[in-house]
């Protein structure tokens, strides 16, 4: 049970995972050696105190596993990016376009996170890209242990790029480090321009914001400059790029950012 949001991870499924065959272990199989969460509350501890302690323990365990993931990526020269957004912002469409344009150059493979179905992994595999689907059941985010299980199946090549498409949610994914190099938040012009102010943790955690679907600007009431201003008010270091995954606007800048991240040790 996630104390941060109340979701359960008991029904997590990783497509292609060999539950009894560890031949694909990629060398940091901490799934069986992770610390267990123990909560000992004094008789005077309030329920609120116990919830805070449980949340701290869960995040501490996750951070330890994320550090191991990060070390595993670094040892192999793999760039891992955590893509986050609300549902419908266009993450999967952007990934499809990115893979078709620069996938072979960058060696992209994908970890897909959704509560149910293999639909997004099927879309990614249709581009010729390797993908693994993680279904979280009632869970609203990926965590470091789920990613480790997915990597065991995905087996990304050294010096490649792993795109992690997180569950559509602007809250909990920002709190859970997966071991990625950077978090990328994707917004669309069909959402409210004030989203960065309403969900500041997400935009504060990100290194890049992609404002997607700008081809729809003539048809919606959306102020791109105001949205970018709000985002940089929350996070002055945030890079903001306006893109259209369907029409191609701004994608060269996105690909340049990817190359720069790949070439940075």
- The per-residue pLDDT for range 178-217, each reduced to its tens digit, is 999 999 999 999 999 999 999 999 999 999 999 999 999 9
255 pLDDT above the threshold of 60: yes
49 pLDDT above the threshold of 60: no
The closest alpha carbon to 109, from 95, 84, 129, 134, belongs to 129
19 pLDDT above the threshold of 90: no
Tokens for 193, please give them. Answer: 């321009």
Q: Is residue 17 very low, low, confident or very high in pLDDT (cuts 50, 70, 90)?
A: confident
Q: Is residue 31 very low, low, confident or very high in pLDDT (cuts 50, 70, 90)?
A: very low
Tokens for 6, please give them. Answer: 């109340």
CA 216 centroid distance within chain: 25
For each of the domains in the chain, give its residue range(s) and CATH number, in order of start: 45-262 (3.40.50.300)
Number of alpha carbons in the 13 Å side-chain half-sphere of residue 245: 21
21 pLDDT above the threshold of 50: no
CB 111 within 8 A of CB 147: yes
Which H helix or E strand runs over 211?
strand 208-212
Mean pLDDT of 109-133: 97
Helices (H), the chain: 47-76, 91-106, 119-125, 144-154, 195-198, 200-205, 224-234, 251-262
Distance CA 86, CA 133 (A): 18
Mean pLDDT across the chain: 88
Q: What are phi and psi of 176, to 5 degrees?
A: -105, 110
- pTM equals 0.84
Q: What is the pLDDT of residues 54-89, one digit of tens each?
A: 567 778 999 999 999 999 999 999 999 999 999 999
End-to-end CA distance of the chain: 36
The closest alpha carbon to 200, from 185, 220, 179, belongs to 185
38 pLDDT above the threshold of 50: no
Q: Could you tell me which residues come within 8 angstroms of residue 69 by beta carbon, excluding any fewer than 6 positions away? A: 28, 80, 144, 147, 148, 151, 178, 179
Mean pLDDT of 135-147: 94
Tokens for 27, please give them. Answer: 């060398």
- Give the per-residue pLDDT at 44: 52
11 pLDDT above the threshold of 80: no
Residue 242 buriedness (CB in 10 A; 0-12 / 13-18 / 19+)? buried
| Cα torsion through 93, 97, 100, 103, rounded to 10 | -90
9 pLDDT above the threshold of 60: no
Q: Is residue 45 very low, low, confident or very high in pLDDT (cuts 50, 70, 90)?
A: low
25 pLDDT above the threshold of 60: no
Secondary structure of residue 133 in the 3-state scheme: strand
């Amino acid at each position: 049970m996630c104390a941060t949001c109340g979701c359960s991870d008991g029904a997590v499924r990783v497509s292609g995972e060999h539950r009894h065959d560890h031949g694909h272990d990629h060398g940091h199989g901490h799934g069986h050696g992770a610390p267990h969460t123990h909560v000992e509350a004094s008789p005077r501890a309030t329920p609120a105190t116990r919830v805070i302690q449980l949340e701290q323990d869960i995040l501490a365990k996750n951070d330890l596993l994320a550090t191991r993931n990060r070390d595993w990526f670094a040892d192999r020269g793999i760039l891992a990016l955590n893509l986050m957004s609300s549902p419908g912002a266009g993450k999967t469409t952007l990934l499809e376009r990115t893979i078709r344009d620069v996938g072979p150059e960058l060696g992209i493979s994908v970890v897909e996170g959704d509560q149910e179905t293999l639909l997004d992994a099927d879309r990614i595999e249709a581009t010729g890209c390797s993908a693994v689907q993680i279904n979280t059941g009632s869970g609203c985010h990926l965590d470091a242990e789920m990613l480790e299980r997915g990597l065991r199946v995905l087996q990304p090549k050294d010096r490649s790029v792993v795109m992690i498409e997180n569950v559509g949610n602007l809250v909990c994914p920002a709190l859970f480090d997966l071991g990625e190099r950077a978090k990328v938040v994707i917004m669309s012009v069909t959402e409210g321009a004030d989203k960065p102010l309403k969900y500041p943790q997400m935009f504060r955690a990100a290194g890049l914001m992609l404002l997607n679907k700008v081809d729809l600007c003539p048809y919606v009431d959306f102020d791109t400059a105001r949205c970018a201003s709000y985002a940089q008010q929350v996070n002055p270091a945030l890079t903001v790029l306006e893109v259209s995954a369907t029409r191609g606007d701004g994608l060269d800048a996105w690909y340049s950012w990817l190359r720069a991240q790949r070439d940075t040790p």
